[in-house]
């Protein structure tokens, strides 16, 4: 079970969080024309890397904030966590 540092609450066990997928995916702007390919990339296509991955988690049973977690998908090492609006270095 992972140990995740919520930037708002501190170190918490994984079972307080829910996983939210790739954090680098950007939703196309509203009312903007997008091609099928662009839309498919937003909704479906993910890279699933082995190694460093920036991902979303929600601190569901805590402060309910969505946070960004930089995690190694192979080793589960967590390098850093960010608030939703924080600049990623």
Partner 1 sequence: MTQSYRIETGGLINRNKKISFKFNGTSYFGYEGDTLASALLANGVHLVGRSFKYHRPRGFFGAGVDEPYAVVQLYRNGETEPNIKATEQELFEGLEASSVNCWPSVNFDIGAINNFLKIFLPAGFYYKTFMWPKSFWYKIYEPFIRKAAGLGVASTKHDKERYEHKYEYCDLLIAGSGPSGLASAYSAAKNGAKVILAEDKPRYGGSLLTSDVNIGNQSGKDWADGIISELKEMPNVTVKNRSQVFGYYDHNMLVMSEKVSDHLPKTKKYHPNKRLWYIRAKEVLISSGSIERPIVFGNNDTPGVMLSSAAKEYLKVYGVLVGKKPLVFTNNDSGYETAIEFKKHGVEPIVLDSRSNPQSEIIDEAKNLGINIKNSYVVVAAQGYKKVKSADVATISEDKKTLGKIENINCDCICVSGFWTPTIHLVSQSGNKTKFNEEIDAFVPGVSKQNETTLGAANGVFTLEETLKTSFEKGKELSKKITEKDNEISIPNVVEKKYSKHDKFWCVPLPKGKSYKRFLDFQNDVAVSDVEIALREGYRSIEHVKRYTTLGMATDQGKTSNLNGLQLVSEIENKVVPSVGHTTFRPPYTPISIGAIVGREVGKHSKPTRKSPIHNWHEEHNAVFVDAGVWLRPRYYKRGNETLFEASKREAKNVRTNVGVCDVTTLGKIDVKGPDAAEFLNRVYTNAWLKLPVGKARYGVMLREDGIVMDDGTTTRISENHYHMTTTTAQAANVLSHLEYYLQLVWPELNVNVVSTTEQWAGAAIAGPKSRDLLQKLFPKTDVSNEGLPFMGYVEGDLFGVKARIFRISFSGELAYEVNVESDNGRFMWEKIIELGEEFQIQPYGTEALSTLRIEMGHVAGSELDGRTIPYDNALEGLLSKKKDFIGKRSLQRAAFVAEDRQRIVGVVPLDKKN
User: Considering beta carbons, is residue 49 or 84 the nearer one to partner 1?
Assistant: 84
Which two three-digit tokens encode residue 25? 């995916």
One symbol per residue from 48 to 77: x for binding partner 1 (CB under 8 A), - otherwise; what is it? --------x-x-x---xxx--------xx-
Contact 10, 60 (CB under 8 A): no
C-alpha to C-alpha distance for 18 and 4, rounded to whole angstroms? 11
Alpha-helical regions (H) of 1-89? 36-43
Q: How many residues bind partner 1 (CB under 8 A)?
A: 27
Q: Which residues bind partner 1 (CB under 8 A)?
A: 1-3, 13, 18, 20, 27-28, 30-31, 34, 36, 39, 42-44, 56, 58, 60, 64-66, 75-76, 78, 84-85
């Amino acid at each position: 079970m992972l140990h995740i540092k919520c930037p708002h609450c501190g170190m918490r066990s994984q079972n307080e969080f829910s996983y939210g997928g790739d954090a680098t995916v950007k939703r196309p702007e509203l009312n903007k024309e997008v091609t099928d390919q662009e839309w498919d990339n937003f909704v479906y296509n993910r890279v699933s890397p082995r190694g460093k991955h920036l991902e979303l988690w929600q601190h569901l049973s805590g402060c309910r904030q969505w946070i960004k977690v930089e995690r190694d998908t192979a080793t589960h090492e967590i390098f850093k966590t960010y608030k939703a609006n924080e600049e990623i270095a």
